[in-house]
Amino acid sequence: MKTYLPHFTTGMVVKGFGRGSKQLGIPTANFPEEVVNNLPEEMETGVYYGFSQVDDGPVYKMVMSIGWNPYYKNEKKSMETHILHKFEEDFYGRLLKVVVLDYVRPEMNFNSLDDLIDTIKSDISIAEKNLDKPEFVGFQKHEFFS
């Protein structure tokens, strides 16, 4: 495990680029710039997984992309959290808490939108499976979320 993990962070959900839901069918909750800027320096860009909570709601599994999203050529580093739960409405301006537990893969560029979507679906599958492991499952009930 990487020395900077687990990483706990909290912030208000802000509007992102609007691509997650519309282009990818994979909605994300985005952290504001000040949260992104406070990531540990040694935390490399890429895809991670852990648990998340909106306000005082239930704690769900999540996958998070941290970085520049080369496919979209972002100019600002972002933290985009895909919560593994279907929400009925947006939750901009609400409090998002996450614990980042492990690393899936480095940031990559893709030849097509379909390749990007297939890889994200694979990342989600890895997170789903790994978050059931004994070393991670206890974090779902961590005092951070109470």
Show which residues are catalytic: 80
Greatest alpha-carbon span in the chain = 42
Place of tokens 């492991």: 133
Asked if residue 95 lies in contact with residue 12, where contact means CB atoms within 8 angstroms, the answer is yes
Nearest-CA neighbor of 141 among 71, 73, 58, 29?
58
Cα torsion for 21, 47, 62, 74, to the nearest 10°?
Answer: -30
Nearest-CA neighbor of 99 among 57, 41, 141, 56?
141
Rounded to whole angstroms, the Cα distance separating 131 from 146 reads: 19
